[in-house]
Amino acid sequence: MKIFLIAGEPSGDMLGGALLAGLKSLCPDVQISGVGGPQMIAQGLDSQFPMEELSVMGIAEILPKYFHLKQRIRETADAILAAKPDAVVSIDSPDFCLRVAKLVKQDAPDQKIIHYVAPSVWAWRPGRAAKMAKCVDHVLALLPFEPPYMEAVGLGCDFVGHPVVAEPRADKAAADAFRETHMIAPDQPLVLCLPGSRKSEVSRLGARFDEALMQLRDREPGLRVVVPTVKGVSKMVGEMTARWPIAPIVVQDPAEKRAAFAAADLALAASGTVSLELAASRTPMVIAYDASMITWNIIWRMMKIDTVTLVNLVSDTRVIPEFLGPECRPEKIARMMSRLLEDSALRAGQLVAMDRTMERLGEGGEAPGMRAARAVLDVVNGGKTVSA
């Protein structure tokens, strides 16, 4: 059996690595080819070219590389047509992957193409599902409410679980050790500050998050703050926090980040998948986000949902407070954070929603990578379920 995979960014590489591990477990003689990063390469993929060439975002970044990316799209499609795999699995990165799929389908309409990560048509731009259906046969969804949206336009779709349920977490011992290492008393309030993983987010939200935390510190004099960060914005975060009157604890090591999540009493976070990471560690949270006035007005008019926080959506609750756009104001954020620190009932309501979210995302069941592998092999085998 031959499977061709395409991943264009680190999150897709993580999904692809877990998927490949599952495929090799279920079908040891599987032949793999395609494009991926370190996690897929560790599973035996010989990437056609460096995945990093595809990890670009935004018009300013894409324009200088447009012709090179166009060439890579054609090269990837030609490689698929030459390999004639039993299935192509494209992973996220729709701007690249769906262009490849369109070229492949033009020359080989019977080629099975599976796209891993459903477009968020439940949030905005519902027409993307119908557009995808023209060049994709099947979708693997991360969220439990997504399959009906895909099936409505004639796409097969399996919910395979979200990768957050399989990620390692810190236990109480690690949380206690984190507090001890940083000399934080067990009853001393500890807050996470998560202004985003992109430079534009840190630039726009950093000052507001800082001001909110300063106002919260007036109410909670013993407050300590941890700022988990990632390589791409670590320098920027360091420069931002150097101006803070009380220096926070900045962590980048993944194990220390997990320990900080487990040790914290509360988090202030930018909107995004980090809400699921916080839910996995059962850390109460406040979500805040903003964009330019023009961008925000356009996005808000296109939105089909009344909350952007995945914990709220998956749990079918609205217990995670949000401060979005014009509401993203330090004084409002600080007041809500203070309430959450003081009101055990509010925190308990969030914890119930987090438990429900993790259960619905597949916590306690088969790992998402294995579920995704079964779904791929079922498509290849015409719906015949594959057992280990």
297 lies in a domain? yes
Average pLDDT over residues 245-264: 93
Give the alpha-carbon dihedral of 88, 91, 92, 98, to 10 degrees.
-20
211 lies in a domain? yes
pLDDT tens-digit series, residues 345-385: 999 999 999 999 999 999 999 999 999 999 999 999 986 55
Rounded Cα–Cα distance for residues 125 and 46 (Å)? 35
At 190 the three-state DSSP class reads strand
The pTM is what?
Answer: 0.89
Say yes or no: 332 and 373 in one domain: no
The answer to whether the beta carbons of residues 314 and 144 sit under 8 Å apart is: yes
208 lies in a domain? yes
Instruction: Give the angle 350-354-357 at the CA atoms, nearest 5°.
Output: 135
- Which residue shows structure tokens 């015949």? 384
What are the residues whose beta carbons fall under 8 Å from the beta carbon of 279, sequence distance 6 or more?
A: 164, 311, 353, 354, 357, 358
| Residue 161 vs residues 27, 309, 358: alpha-carbon distances, Å | 21, 17, 10
User: Which pLDDT value is given to residue 388?
Assistant: 53
What are the residues whose beta carbons fall under 8 Å from the beta carbon of 152, sequence distance 6 or more?
A: 129
DSSP secondary structure code for residue 29 in this structure: T
Say yes or no: 213 and 86 in one domain: no
| Average pLDDT over all residues of the chain | 92
Tokens of 320: 């995670």
The answer to whether the beta carbons of residues 6 and 103 sit under 8 Å apart is: no
- Residues linked to residue 192 through DSSP beta bridges, in sequence order: 226, 267
At 187 the three-state DSSP class reads coil
DSSP secondary structure code for residue 113 in this structure: E
Say yes or no: 251 and 131 in one domain: no
385 lies in a domain? no
* 109 φ, ψ (degrees, to nearest 5): -60, -20
Rounded Cα–Cα distance for residues 145 and 147 (Å)? 6
Say yes or no: 124 and 262 in one domain: no
pLDDT tens-digit series, residues 340-351: 999 999 999 999
Say yes or no: 277 and 349 in one domain: yes
pLDDT tens-digit series, residues 124-173: 888 899 999 999 999 999 999 999 999 999 999 999 999 999 999 999 99
Strand order in the sheet with 190-194: 249-251, 224-228, 190-194, 266-270, 285-289, 322-324
| Residue 373 vs residues 91, 93, 206: alpha-carbon distances, Å | 13, 19, 40
> Which residues form the domain of 271?
172-360
Top mean pLDDT of 14-23, 205-214, 292-301 is at 14-23
167 lies in a domain? no
387 lies in a domain? no
Say yes or no: 60 and 182 in one domain: no
* 224 φ, ψ (degrees, to nearest 5): -115, 145
Say yes or no: 185 and 302 in one domain: yes
Q: What is the CATH number of the domain that holds 252?
A: 3.40.50.2000
| Residue 272 vs residues 57, 161, 269, 301: alpha-carbon distances, Å | 16, 17, 8, 19
pLDDT surpasses 70 at 239 = yes
Lowest mean pLDDT among 89-98, 170-179, 229-238, 293-302: 293-302
Say yes or no: 331 and 372 in one domain: no
**Of residues 143, 118, 91, the one with CA closest to residue 310:** 143
Say yes or no: 23 and 71 in one domain: yes
178 lies in a domain? yes
| Residue 323 vs residues 199, 279, 293, 383, 384: alpha-carbon distances, Å | 20, 18, 15, 45, 47
pLDDT surpasses 70 at 66 = yes
Say yes or no: 324 and 191 in one domain: yes
Give how many domains the chain has, as a whole number: 2
The answer to whether the beta carbons of residues 368 and 162 sit under 8 Å apart is: yes
Say yes or no: 9 and 118 in one domain: yes
56 lies in a domain? yes
Rounded Cα–Cα distance for residues 182 and 261 (Å)? 14
Report the half-sphere exposure of 336 (CA within 13 A, side-chain side).
21
**What value does the CA radius of gyration of the chain take, rounded to a whole number of Å?**
22
Say yes or no: 205 and 337 in one domain: yes
